[in-house]
Amino acid sequence: MSDESRELDARVDALRRAGRYAEAANLCLQAGDPARASDLFAAVWDWPAAIRAAEQAGRYAHAYRHALEANDRGALTRLLGVLPDHPDQAVEAAGAAERKGRVVDAARLHAAAGDVATAAELYERAGELGEAARCHESAGRYREAGILYERRVREDPHDGEAALRLGRILAHFGRFEHAARALQIAERDPEQRRSALGILIACFAALEMHEAAVACLDRLRALDPALPRAVPDFLRVTYGDERGLAAYALEGGGVHDASQLLAGRYRVLRPLGSGATGRVVLTHDGFYDREVAVKILGVGTGSQGRDAYARFAREARVAAGIEHPNVVAVYEFNPDGPFLVMEYMAGGTLEERLEGDRPLPLAIARHVAKSLLAGLEAVHRRGVIHRDLKPANVFFGAAGDVKIGDFGVAHLQDLGATLTGALLGTLAYMAPEQITGSAQPHAATDLYAFGCILHRMLTGTLPYPGPDFVTQHLESPIPRVAARRPELGHFDPLVTRLLDKAIDARPGSVEEVRLALDALDWTDPDENALERLVKEEQRPPTPPRQSAAPSAPPPALERFTLLEPLEAGAWLAHDTLLERRVRVEGCDAARAAWLQHLGQADGPHLQAIFDVDVENERAVLEQPEGEPLSRALLDDARRERVQAELEAALRRLHAAGLVHGDLRLSNVIVGPGRAVLMLPTSATSSSPDDDPAALAALF
């Protein structure tokens, strides 16, 4: 350091100690050290001077931070234009912006620095769905982009650019019908009209809607008369093939025939059931890459058909507006089908578990009852009465979560609907006022049906077994639980109130019923003291940890019958709620977080994660049927298929940013119809490139 530098430092330090920061800063400026001057100006909150000095020094992130402190909008705007040319500083500035709550600025800066994943997350958090979608699209994450564009168009149907971008993505994936809907929205925007029409022609051509394609071409030629007059010629010029988009629309990497899909989007896998007004099928939604249930309306013509359609449309409006863990989610209503796209509940229905006149174990009955009440409370809060609550409309998810579905006869109080159709529903669970039409449906109407379900879960039989349900519901004395199970007589006061024939005599709200249920003793009388002691000794300690995403509410241990101990303190157990074998393991908070990450890679050839109960440090995982790969007898064809299934499982893990790192013969279970790769027990330092090599070594 030169004598001049030492002298300058001494003078600056002396001025700073004397509190004369501005003089010290100006001295630094005169000496050609604007960076130091900027810090000194900032120390005395002279933000304009600090900003100028930082910019002079090329410290744009510092200048942006000072502008944030000063709330200097001009400087902030100017620096947001400069920082993208300095990616490292842009990231630093983004952190400052986020800390100050300027989430959109932080997103812009992350995008400028090339971190589009973080930018997309921040834009979405700020409600800027279009910007978030564009970030995903720029990174080639078209599915994520499409989902956000779809949300944006739903939020603002006048956003022509979002509709156009959504239409392009859907068309790329062969979803021509859905793409056409988005593009028709985009066509209304003068700035997007030309582009939208060009793709719309190709979509209609792919759907073999030739007249619609010609009409779109006519509208486009009104904007540009030089275009070809015939649709095939237009497609050949625009797309290089007279088939247009249909020639190379991608569906999982290959050409797909849109005519084989419902609405150009849902591929039917198998039937799930049918009823008086339609059928339900399991489908694969290629756009969201998930399995969904589709309820397809099938009714006759005339007034009956119109009434059935009206009820179906009402179900769509009601169910789609309710988001609750104990109500089956409705994703889409397609009026042209018409069909309803719903969450697929893999665990079946309560009706299936009540067959054979067997009561449910009390722990399970309590879980179902509390879940139904939570769902009903959400429904009633929306001014909706279900009116068809019955075990066939109570569904189980893969993790044992319980949800209410099928709002086909729900009654909207705020619409002032008449009693037309009051006899819809199932007589075995129907309240007297529904049968007679003597009163408008009320929360107590659903609670009557809940009382019938509770009685059946406790005793195994309906309160009124029929066949003359009408007379029994209207005139017969209220049956007692104690008549069939004397040891459960303490449930009678509540069940009797729920089944009272007078609507005003029943509990007035779900909350009242919930408090009454919580006050009851749910100890299973069939479990004597010795059996309880044995069960207690069989409980897994709190060993190594395993598995996945929490569900509401977590399963009680009484739901699982422990069968035999497994390695690392785990237990093989029988899930009495879903009638299947599972693996019950210990799980602390760290293990739960790891398994939640693993849950992002969920697929048919990866061990499923059913539930995590962090509070009780317990996790429930799939216990696949079959033999370890070391003992499985495979011919060449089966061997190739197993290897391909394991490769698919690894691709899902790698796509989620995970590495397996522990591919062993014992970690592969080969069962009937599929092979399952067991999940890794902990994170690994291995590279994604190590997994394929390990897999090849297994074979």
Q: Active-site residues: which are they?
A: 388
How far, in Å, CA of 445 to CA of 125, rounded? Answer: 41
Contact (Cβ atoms closer than 8 angstroms) between residue 354 and residue 392: no
Phi and psi torsions of 423, nearest 5°: -85, 5
Give the dihedral of Cα atoms 419, 420, 422, 425; nearest 10 deg. Answer: -150
One-letter amino acid at 22 equals A
DSSP track, 502-566: SGGGS-SSHHHHHHHHHTS----TTS-HHHHHHHHHHS--S-SB------SSPPPGGGEEEEEE-
What tokens does 394 get?
Answer: 């109570």
Query: What is the distance in angstroms between the CA of the first residue and the CA of the last residue of the chain?
Result: 67
Question: What is the phi-psi region of residue 246: left when phi exceeds 0, alpha when psi lies from -120 to 50, beta otherwise?
Answer: alpha
What tokens does 202 get?
Answer: 């190709």
How far, in Å, CA of 544 to CA of 556, rounded? Answer: 20
How far, in Å, CA of 8 to CA of 590, rounded? Answer: 54
Residues forming beta bridges with residue 571, ordered by sequence position: 565, 584
Using alpha carbons only, what angle is made at residue 260 by residues 256 and 261, rounded to the nearest 5 degrees? 90
How far, in Å, CA of 635 to CA of 154, rounded? Answer: 51
Burial 313-347 (b: 16+ CB within 10 A, else e): ebbbebbbebebbbbbbbbbbbeebbbbbbbbbeb
What residue has token string 């744009």?
60
Contacts of residue 443, defined as CB under 8 A and 6 or more positions apart, other chains included, come to 376, 380, 385, 508, 509, 510
Contacts of residue 390, defined as CB under 8 A and 6 or more positions apart, other chains included, come to 351, 425, 426, 428, 429, 449, 452, 453
Omega within 30 of 0 (cis) for the link into 553: yes
Angle between helices 636-655 and 690-698 (to 10 degrees): 160
DSSP track, 298-318: ---SHHHHHHHHHHHHHHHHH
Contacts of residue 658, defined as CB under 8 A and 6 or more positions apart, other chains included, come to 597, 598, 600, 601
What tokens does 637 get?
Answer: 């064809």
- The alpha helices in 460-491, defined as continuous H runs, are 469-475
